[in-house]
Amino acid sequence: MKLRPVHRAQRFVRSVFSTAPSEQDADWAGTFLSPEEQRAFEQMPPADRSHSIGVARAVAAHLDRLELTESDTEARWILAAALTHDVGKSVSGLGTYGRVVATLSGAVGGADMGGIWAENRGMTRKVGLYLQYPQLGADVLAVGGSDDRVVAWAAQHHLPPQEWTVPIDAGRLLSDADDGIL
């Protein structure tokens, strides 16, 4: 996970001032999620659900780049991936300020320390779990029977494009939406 200070600062501000998604947005999101994905999505804090719906809305608005529409069967996995890419964050139990500490700890100590820190207790464990959230989210989705591409995106969404196993054009669309470029 790269630190990307500007992106992180923007996400922090949005997290602090974010509200739960509207019922209309939550209902829209649910049309693209399996029951298991829906349960994982609902475990996410309100700010994460709002962020993920914003990512999915941006993806939906630009599906024409992939010659798709929301109603296309092939678009379902892409929108599910947008909605669930951060589900692993809820495993740590950290709030906004704890996530700031975890992100800075990962930047200073190295994200690879997540596994070691997760073996401890208390805040150190939570930081370790948070640093592993992409893989933890992928595990949650895999156990729930999600499409392999949805699982892969949860695990790989912070990796460079050459390491993605999802179709590159779909990955770029998902990444651009997550980064707020769209």
100-119 confidence digits (pLDDT tens):
777 787 777 777 777 777 78
Distance (Å, whole) CA 87 – CA 38: 10
Domain edges within the chain: 5-14+22-178
In degrees and rounded to multiples of 5, residue 102 shows phi and psi of: -65, -45
- What tens digit of pLDDT does each residue of 20-79 get? 778 999 999 999 999 999 999 999 999 899 999 999 999 999 999 999 999 999 999 999
At 137, list the tokens: 């989210």
Distance, in Å, from the CA atom of 49 to the CA atom of 55, rounded to the nearest integer, reads: 10
What is the pLDDT, as a whole number, of residue 64?
97
What digits encode the pLDDT tens for the residues 37-49?
Answer: 999 999 999 989 9
